């Protein structure tokens, strides 16, 4: 199982997450996010990351040329898309994509089927960074449509339970690892990653 830490705004937090064992680091470029970070700052941070750590850009309803410009400048490996982006939009993104969808009820599961060829989905309770969990039974059902990255309200205290319940392909921690929006708490970060990794080990 993979572990992603999202909402990073500071170099020291990004390096700490990588040191603690995160597989992927998320940098938010969505205009309305409290965790939005400067493009040049991210380019600088990504250049210092150790090998095999994936840099992910988080976007929401932004012009495609803007997204591609940021991808190129920051050398992002993955674009996480939280808006109303459709299949045609995803096809124009110049790196691999992770479509984020919120699941409020069973009816939302059918939205996953509208992205043929998409191999992975991030599932959240809202538009991202809300700090709220959702019905993990829906996440279990969503696995029929592809790999699942479980997000939404995950904390050091509940991530092991979430991993055991859903057995996702990856988990994504954001607000549950923070001292303040965009500022990570080192102990929460370390414990989140350790608890997720330990729970994943019990699945094998």
Residue 133 phi/psi, 5-degree rounding, is -85, 170
Q: What is the separation, in whole angstroms, between the first and last Cα of the chain?
A: 10
Cα-based distances in Å from 4 to 42, 66, 86, 88, 114: 16, 24, 24, 26, 25
Q: How far apart are CA 21 and CA 2, in angstroms?
A: 10
Which of 23, 72, 86, 124 is catalytic? The answer is: 124
Which of 6, 13, 74, 172 is catalytic? The answer is: 6
Task: Give the three-state DSSP class for 80.
Answer: strand
Q: Is 6 a catalytic residue?
A: yes
Which string of DSSP letters, residue by residue, matches 112-168? GGGSTT--EEEEESSSS-------HHHHHHHGGGSEEEE-SS--TTTHHHHHHHH--
Residue with tokens 């992910």: 56
| Catalytic residue set | 6, 124
């Amino acid at each position: 199982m993979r572990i992603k830490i999202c909402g990073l705004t500071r170099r020291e937090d990004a390096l700490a997450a990588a040191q603690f064992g995160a597989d992927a680091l998320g940098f938010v470029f969505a205009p309305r996010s409290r965790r939005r970070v400067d493009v040049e700052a991210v380019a600088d941070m990504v250049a210092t990351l150790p090998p095999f750590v994936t840099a992910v850009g988080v976007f929401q309803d932004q012009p495609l040329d803007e997204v591609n410009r940021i991808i190129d400048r920051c050398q992002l490996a993955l674009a996480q898309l939280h808006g109303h982006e459709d299949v045609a939009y995803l096809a124009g993104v110049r790196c691999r994509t992770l479509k984020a969808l919120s699941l409020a009820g069973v009816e939302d599961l059918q939205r996953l089927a509208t992205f043929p060829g998409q191999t992975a989905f991030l599932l959240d309770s809202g538009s991202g960074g809300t700090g709220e969990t959702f019905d993990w039974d829906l996440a279990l059902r969503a696995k029929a449509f592809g790999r699942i990255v479980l997000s939404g309200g995950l904390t050091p205290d509940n991530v092991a339970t979430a991993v055991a319940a859903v057995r996702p392909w990856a988990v994504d921690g954001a607000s549950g690892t923070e001292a303040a929006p965009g500022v990570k708490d080192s102990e929460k970060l370390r414990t989140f990653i350790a608890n997720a990794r330990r729970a994943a080990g019990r699945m094998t």
